[in-house]
Amino acid sequence: MTSRSYFLAGAALLTLIATPAFAAEAPAAAAEDPAFAPEDQTSIGTGQRDDEVITVTARRRQETSQDVPLAISVVGGEHIDSTGSFNVGRLQQLTPTLQFYSSNPRNTAVNIRGLGVPFGLTNDGIEQGVGIYVDDVYNSRVASATFDFLDVAQVEVLRGPQGTLYGKNTTAGAINITTRQPTFDFEGRAEISLGNYGFKQAKAAVSGPLTETLAARVALSTTSRRGTIYNVTTNRWIQSQDNLGLRGQLLFKPSEAFNLTLAADFSEQDAVCCGSVFVRTGTTQRATNRQFAALAAAQGYAVPSLNPFARVTDLDAALQAGNKIGGVSLKANWDVGPGTLTSVTAWRFWDWRPQNDRDFTGLPIVTRSQNPSQQDQYTQELRFNYSGDGLDFVVGAFGFHQRIDTQGTEAHGSASTRWNLAPTNALYNSNVLDGLTARNTQYLKNTSLALFGQASWKVTPEITLQPGVRLNYDKKDGFYQRRVFTGTGTEIVIGGPSSAVTTAQLAIFTPQTIAPKFSDWNFSYDFTASYKATRDVLLYATYAKTFKSGGINQNGVPVDAANNPILAAATVKPESVDHYELGVKTEFLDRRAILNVSLFRTDIKDYQANVNNGQFGVLRGYLANAGAVRSQGLEWDFSVRPSERFNAFVNGAYTDATYRKFTDAPCPPELSGGTSSPANCDISGQRLPGVSKWSFSFGAEGNVPAQLLGKSGEVYLGYDGSYRSNFSSNPTPSRYTWVDGYSLSNFRVGFRTEEGFDIYGWVRNAFKKDYFEQLFVGPGNTGLIAGLPGDPRTWGATVRAVF
């Protein structure tokens, strides 16, 4: 379908949707009734029962979400708490086009509409395409935003490019998290949850005045849970939770025209994590005696269970996922008469301490795999916001500097030689690979500067034109060095003495030193036209031209026949993005119902793809540019509250995200490993990894008046569910790594009062659905497929009080 026919179809669809809404305009009496005011509606698409005013800051100013010409989902804090969505990973069950994948905190991807972060092992040399903001502070790495939500007021998921105002390469969208702020009236909240698998969670927050001009707020949370996979080698449960979060804020407000907020937070995760289970094997192009079954039999090895949902593993390497995140920010707002001047200054840190088992088996093949990292990030944003009768605008500047240091170690054990060398090799029965160790040192210095602006010109009371621009400069300086040592501690160098032994060792780990650099300017712009057809119908159309900064390979690059690094692969080009969107936002049934629909298409040239190498230690994965990618589809958010006793929501998305041109992609495992296997494959037209064509979230809640323990309130029953169709769990689609579609159902029943007391029981994954979050291709093209099962059925109870 051409661009023109695509938008003609979209315009026709919007016309059909908007037509009944014209007739559904609320009568004057309803419009004057505060119960039906738009700000008292439930959060868009969640059906939640929040009585707070629902406003958003998607355009860096307070306004109701129905007035914003943008595809946006808003989830309020109360709904986050009641549905157990205590982190970004859980949030995806409420927002269909948000995808979250995590094999451990560092290797985490957050995508919107199938775009954002290359699927696979993390490479620090590129940016994420989904910006994550907490109280206006940018979190530059997805891994640094894997904390539990702490005292959150609401979360906005902005879909589509946000490069004008949110910048820093937000080509897929942004997640805007707002926490509860200090108050000059004393208030507090406390919550305790207990459940199966030893689940314990406690949250508390208190806020109030210290003086007439100074207020404070302190919040904490702690979460722990036993693991869901049993390791028969260590006799321990893995995939546990052990999280701690703290946040403190001071608000200085000497006048109505000025306020200053100092905030500090700290989050620590120290789980026994992260592992996998055996899922299946698939035939590759290797010789039969080099396939997984023959390799395992040769060493007398058998997997602990052929049923992945027995949740049993035998990983023999140490597992650890220590994660510390925190920082300090200072935010000032100053009403200077014609507008508001805002300054946000922040420092954030991230300390990652991992240990992994990268062979996915109980054999001592890879006995140590770890890449601890430390990050420091500094940001400064200044912006001026003006609102007038006919014109609103925001202008500003943004500065960013980041340093990441990583120290990696990967070591092979006693089973490595016979696993990696053919039986015909004279060294097959030796131990030449036992103790072989690679030590990696790398750093990244990343600097970015930007000027931006966006205006909303009200041509008439009904028509608004919104242009936006951003000028961005990015500079990256990197360093990567791999040194290789034998089991006796002798260093192996390129050009040194050559022998059959060193040839075998260099096939596993190749020494390499590179110092890639990248710098570039880019100019992003967008234009949105909106039409307020009636009080309750908003139509809009958007075009955006934006970029994701180019990058550098921080995990090493491929080598030539002489084992020299191919320096042309050290950098990757910027992504160039063209985005088109049509949308309609409607309210009807006396504003008791909301239906928002968006039709979108995003074309990307030089898409930054993650390329995984099949060998054990040659590369952990490197970056390359695919020729072109397209994501297009349809989304809708529907919520209804016919009375105070019932509300419901149904959100959905159809996403068609494919490689339009990728002729030199890595081949899937079924075409890899043989002497005549192709060096690369053409996967043009195939689906991007992690993308379900169909995804839905839905739910409802009903209540009746009741009394409990002498308190008047209501008994309620709530349900929320989600469905997603199948998706590929490998950068190149493989018949071995398609994850079947699945549906999850969660229930809650409880009693609450208007004073803020709430007690309820809950069950999640109520029907005990077996499903995978991810599948992994084992190294070496042996045909091994490992996986990460999703959570089993969990249940528990929560008591919450607000005072």
Span 560-589, pLDDT tens digits: 878 888 888 889 899 999 999 999 999 999
404 pLDDT higher than 70: yes
Write down the residue that tokens 């007021």 correspond to.
153
Q: Could you tell me how many residues make up the chain?
A: 803
Mean pLDDT on 522-532: 95
Mean pLDDT value across the chain: 88
Whether residue 514 contacts residue 570, with contact meaning beta carbons closer than 8 Å, is answered with yes
Mean pLDDT of 425-446: 95
- Please name the amino acid found at residue 325: I
Q: pLDDT for 738-752, tens place per residue?
A: 999 999 999 999 999
Beta bridge partners of 375: 350, 404
CATH number at residue 349: 2.40.170.20
Range with lowest mean pLDDT among 112-126, 300-314, 617-631, 648-662:
617-631
pLDDT at residue 23 tops 50: no
pLDDT for the residue 82? 77
Higher-scoring residue by pLDDT: 48, 140: 140
Q: Is the pLDDT of residue 617 over 50?
A: no
Q: Are 164 and 472 in contact (CB under 8 A)?
A: no
Is the pLDDT score of 800 beyond 70?
yes
Domain holding 377, by residue range, is 3-802
List, in order, residues 6 or more apart from 414 with CB less than 8 Å away: 364, 431, 434
pLDDT of amino acid 145: 66
pLDDT for the residue 37? 32
Calculate mean pLDDT across residues 768-776.
95
Sequential DSSP letters for 478-538:
EEEEEEEE-TTSPEE-TTS---HHHHHHHTT---EEE--EEEEEEEEEEEEEEEEEETTEE
Give me the residue label for tokens 């002498």. Answer: 710
Number of domains within the chain: 1
**Token output for 546:** 């934006």
CB distance 97 to 694 below 8 Å: no
In what side-by-side order are the strands of the sheet with 772-777? 277-281, 784-789, 772-777
Structure confidence at residue 12 (pLDDT): 35
Of the pLDDT bands very low, low, confident and very high (cuts 50, 70, 90), residue 35 is: very low
Range of weakest confidence among 19-23, 442-446, 589-593? 19-23
Q: Which of 59-73, 78-92, 166-180, 189-203 has the highest mean pLDDT?
A: 189-203
Q: Per-residue confidence at 168, pLDDT binned at 50, 70, 90? A: low
How far, in whole angstroms, is CA 423 from its chain's centroid? 44
Which tens digits make up the pLDDT trace of 675-705? Answer: 888 888 999 999 999 999 999 999 999 999 9
Determine the average pLDDT of the residues in 343-358: 94
Side chain identity at 729, as an amino acid letter?
S
For residue range 68-118, what is the model confidence (pLDDT) as tens digits?
999 998 888 888 777 776 677 777 777 888 888 887 777 788 899 999 887
How do residues 472-489 score in pLDDT, each as one tens digit? 999 999 999 999 999 999
Identify the pLDDT of residue 623: 78
Relative to beta strand 130-134, strand 173-179 is: parallel
Give me the pLDDT at residue 22, please: 31
